[in-house]
Amino acid sequence: MIKIDKNEGWINLSTTNCSYIIKLFRNQYPLHFYWGKKIPTPGKREFPYMEPTRGNLVIPEPANDKIYIELLPLEYAYQSSGDYRPSSFNILDKHNNPVIETKIKEYSILNEKPNIPGLPCTWAKEGEAQTLKLVLTDSIKNLDIILYYAVIEKYDVIIRWCEIKNNGTQEFYIKRLMSLSMDMLNNNYQFLFLEGAWARERQICKEIIKPGLKQIGSIRGISSHQFNPFFAILDKNADEHKGSVYGFNLVYSGNFIAEVDCNYDKNLRLNLGINPWEFSWNLKPGASFYTPEGIMVYSDTGLNGMSRIFHRFYRERLSKSTWRQKMRPVLINNWEATYFNFNEDKLLKIAESAKQAGIELFVLDDGWFGERENDKTSLGDWFENKRKLPSGIGLFSKEIEKLDLSFGLWFEPEMISKESKLYKEHPDWCLHLPQRLRGEGRNQLVLDLCRKEIRDYIFKLISDILSNASISYIKWDMNRTLSHAGSIAYPDEPQGNIMYRYMLGVYELMFRLTSHFPDILFEGCAAGGGRMDPGILHYMPQFWISDNTDALSRLKIQYATSLVYPPIMMGAHVSDVPNHETGRYTDMEFRGLVASSGSLGYELDLNSISVIDIKNIRDQIVFYKKHRKIIQFGNFIRLLSPFENNTTAWMFITQDKKEALLFHFALLNEANLPPSLLKLIGLDEDSFYVEQRTGLNFSGKELIHRGFLITNKKQDFKAQYFHFKKKNLN
């Protein structure tokens, strides 16, 4: 809900548990007053942050000798005006003169959350959202900067984005335009972000904020394996379970930047938006430019509280897919079982065993099209490889269906191989810079999806296949980052613009395909988790979070990914041992429980493993199906971090707290270890629970305050689960 006190210039954006308060100061500066636990609007008083005279600072208005712009906590920051912190925007006219002065022009409340043209965004049902539209204007340049703050009270989120509108007759160049900026007063905060690499995505990194500028981001054309477009600011003593945490996530899949600037007073300026690297957007008279949206979440119950808000909101209001709230099928994917080396017979044998094990969906991965015998050829030639699949995809999908399995197919729609019919016909359809090398990654080039005719072509090829076969799942892969980003359609544009246009093109293609085939479950993938972000998750409510299927590595990847994204969105597979990426052996139970913590799948040849493991897999699937609803739709709570302990533990709890699953993973064993008490979280204090496997009774208070005893088993990589049900006292 949004309340405006026009007389005193306060705007209070409040959700169920938090307030975000802005002060409109002297009709010029929207100042950041507060964001945190719910408080009332302050009432009549000046902004309590006017400094006594301090030397050597710039005064933007001589009449107001106490206003040093560099000390003001701004909602959206000027440039070139005496504020030397990283600005929210940088807009130049054609003589390179900047837009430097904006005044508050008007503000209003919309009773909805508008969509952002061309970009993925979260949404709200009628009556769920209000949006503050705060218009700043540079009257000399005739340019409006419109700040949007959508408030979705019941989900406890605030969503920010920005529009630049050119009302004048001259053109401008947008060099930098953040989705959100925020200034916070010194509180010895910590900065938490997710760093990584291929097969080691999203590792938690937490730093004490020190003076200077810290940036994370991507200029790879995708949000990247290296950094996720997410960060959190934590109170000094905040942790998983307590303290104030401020979470930020950008709904965008291309180049992004997140900045934390700490000045000499230890005050912070936060920025999140499109990366300004080689970005220069020509804003013509009459035109608007919109940033992607940034989601902001406040929690006073630590990181778990923040994640709970993100999870619920993303499960319910990020994607519009019909699969959003549908239970996900247990799948088998042939990639690690066969790689490129398969034929119909081999696949059908895997599918038959999969059916017997209780699997519901068979996914045919890379290698089924063109002349694709390895990763050097055929991307773009989306028609069957008849040597491998003489019946063609249509008939083959029917064969799979006869086994009472659904059928899924892999595509990599954004790519083109040099060795392909498509490249022979259209050598200029890839992104490239004139007269420069066409840099390849994984032996492939990137299609110029800035161009509509290329998107139309790919749409037609893929939709023909989807219309002529029985396909209920698509894995949309993307195996290389962008480089040499030039488009013959936009010969004068810098690489940052092309990468942005490329992203708009990808979104348009994703929108078209997902809305044309609304019953298909789309799973995103980018060489594993290289583009797992809310932008893609808007179109595809599931993501293959890493090519690393080693259960131990996965503990970390899934734990850290869950800071923002809910388990239902994480594709998690049991694969063979020794693991193909790490060479590690872990037992089937350990692999099974780790993968059962997400949307479960299998990625191994069921015909080449032991009878005992086949039986274990059957039992796992029975277990998963029984508990799938809690795992996919319950609250997820992290108890012990693999980044800090030799054990990991997490829980799934139904919304009504009647049922809970506790998963415990012991990593490296030591001799003579005592049992340990693990304090559970999120249960009902005033109820009693029965652990279903042992029949033991516990009060909720005991499990929460004393803990649950975990005994040590004599084994490395030992997984255990416990199932609690509320006791019916009647």
Smallest distance, ligand DGJ to C-beta of residue 527, A: 5
Note if the bond before 578 is cis, omega within 30 degrees: yes
Judged by CB, which is closer to ligand DGJ: 307, or 546? Answer: 546
Task: Give the residue, chosen from 194, 525, 537, 681, that forms a contact with ligand DGJ under the rule CB under 6 A.
Answer: 525
The residue written with tokens 């969906």 in the block is: 361
Smallest distance, ligand DGJ to C-beta of residue 603, A: 8
Please report whether residue 382 would count as binding ligand DGJ according to CB under 6 A: no
Smallest distance, ligand DGJ to C-beta of residue 633, A: 25
Please report whether residue 527 would count as binding ligand DGJ according to CB under 6 A: yes
Using CB atoms within 10 Å of the CB of residue 344, give its burial: 0 to 12 exposed, 13 to 18 middle, 19+ buried. Answer: middle
Q: Report DSSP letters for 138-200, one per residue.
A: ETTTTEEEEEEEEEEGGGTEEEEEEEEEE-SSS-EEEEEEEEEEEEE--S--EEEEEE--TTS
Judged by CB, which is closer to ligand DGJ: 400, or 525? Answer: 525
**Stretch of residues binding ligand DGJ (CB under 6 A), selected from 111-119, 419-427, 521-529, 645-653:** 521-529
Task: Give the residue, chosen from 120, 243, 528, 598, that forms a contact with ligand DGJ under the rule CB under 6 A.
Answer: 528
Using CB atoms within 10 Å of the CB of residue 266, give its burial: 0 to 12 exposed, 13 to 18 middle, 19+ buried. Answer: middle
Query: In the annotation, is 613 catalytic?
Result: no
637-to-303, 568, 654, 682, 698 alpha-carbon distances in Å: 10, 14, 11, 8, 19
- 634 close to 693: Cβ distance less than 8 angstroms: no
Tell me the two tokens of residue 597: 């913590």
Smallest distance, ligand DGJ to C-beta of residue 473, A: 13
Half-sphere exposure of 495 (CA within 13 A, CB side): 15
Please report whether residue 476 would count as binding ligand DGJ according to CB under 6 A: no
Residue 296: which of 123, 157, 150 has the closest Cα?
157
* 137 phi/psi in degrees, rounded to 5: -140, 145
Judged by CB, which is closer to ligand DGJ: 375, or 587? Answer: 375
Judged by CB, which is closer to ligand DGJ: 278, or 375? Answer: 375
Smallest distance, ligand DGJ to C-beta of residue 328, A: 17
Query: In the annotation, is 547 catalytic?
Result: yes
Smallest distance, ligand DGJ to C-beta of residue 336, A: 8
Count of CB atoms situated within 10 Å of the CB of 573: 23
| Binding letters toward ligand DGJ, positions 127-166, x by CB under 6 A | ----------------------------------------
**Stretch of residues binding ligand DGJ (CB under 6 A), selected from 240-248, 523-531, 653-661, 694-702:** 523-531
Please report whether residue 366 would count as binding ligand DGJ according to CB under 6 A: yes
**Stretch of residues binding ligand DGJ (CB under 6 A), selected from 1-9, 502-510, 525-533, 697-705:** 525-533
Smallest distance, ligand DGJ to C-beta of residue 442, A: 8
Judged by CB, which is closer to ligand DGJ: 79, or 549? Answer: 549
Q: How many residues bind ligand DGJ, per CB under 6 A?
A: 11
Smallest distance, ligand DGJ to C-beta of residue 601, A: 11
Please report whether residue 365 would count as binding ligand DGJ according to CB under 6 A: yes
Judged by CB, which is closer to ligand DGJ: 24, or 525? Answer: 525
**Stretch of residues binding ligand DGJ (CB under 6 A), selected from 312-320, 355-363, 387-395, 520-528:** 520-528
Judged by CB, which is closer to ligand DGJ: 116, or 527? Answer: 527
CA dist., res. 41 & res. 34, Å (int): 10
Please report whether residue 477 would count as binding ligand DGJ according to CB under 6 A: yes
Task: State the residue number with the nearest CB to ligand DGJ.
Answer: 366
**CB within 8 Å of 642: residues ≥ 6 apart:** 555, 556, 559, 648, 665, 667
Smallest distance, ligand DGJ to C-beta of residue 593, A: 21
Judged by CB, which is closer to ligand DGJ: 107, or 522? Answer: 522
Judged by CB, which is closer to ligand DGJ: 214, or 418? Answer: 418
CA dist., res. 633 & res. 628, Å (int): 8
* 410 phi/psi in degrees, rounded to 5: -95, 140
Using CB atoms within 10 Å of the CB of residue 229, give its burial: 0 to 12 exposed, 13 to 18 middle, 19+ buried. Answer: buried
Smallest distance, ligand DGJ to C-beta of residue 23, A: 48
Task: Give the residue, chosen from 314, 410, 473, 724, that forms a contact with ligand DGJ under the rule CB under 6 A.
Answer: 410
Please report whether residue 335 would count as binding ligand DGJ according to CB under 6 A: yes
| Interactions with ligand DGJ, residue window 244-303 (CB under 6 A) | none
* Active-site choice (477, 550, 576, 684): 477
- Longest CA–CA separation in the chain, Å: 84
Sheet with 29-37, side-by-side order of all strands: 2-5, 10-14, 18-25, 29-37
Tell me the two tokens of residue 436: 């420069």
Judged by CB, which is closer to ligand DGJ: 199, or 233? Answer: 199
Count of CB atoms situated within 10 Å of the CB of 249: 27
| Binding letters toward ligand DGJ, positions 532-551, x by CB under 6 A | ------------x--x----
Amino acid at 50: M
Name the strand (E) or helix (H) holding 538: helix 534-539
10-to-21, 47, 220, 311, 652 alpha-carbon distances in Å: 7, 10, 41, 31, 41
Distance between first and last Cα of the chain: 41
Considering only CA atoms, give the Rg of the chain: 27
Please report whether residue 523 would count as binding ligand DGJ according to CB under 6 A: no
Smallest distance, ligand DGJ to C-beta of residue 248, A: 27
Judged by CB, which is closer to ligand DGJ: 32, or 225? Answer: 225
Please report whether residue 107 would count as binding ligand DGJ according to CB under 6 A: no
- 140 close to 160: Cβ distance less than 8 angstroms: no
* Active-site choice (156, 183, 533, 547): 547
Q: What pairing do the DSSP bridges indicate for beta strands 268-274 and 697-699?
A: unpaired
Residues that bind ligand DGJ (CB under 6 A): 335, 365-366, 410, 477, 479, 525, 527-528, 544, 547
- What positions carry a catalytic annotation? 477, 547
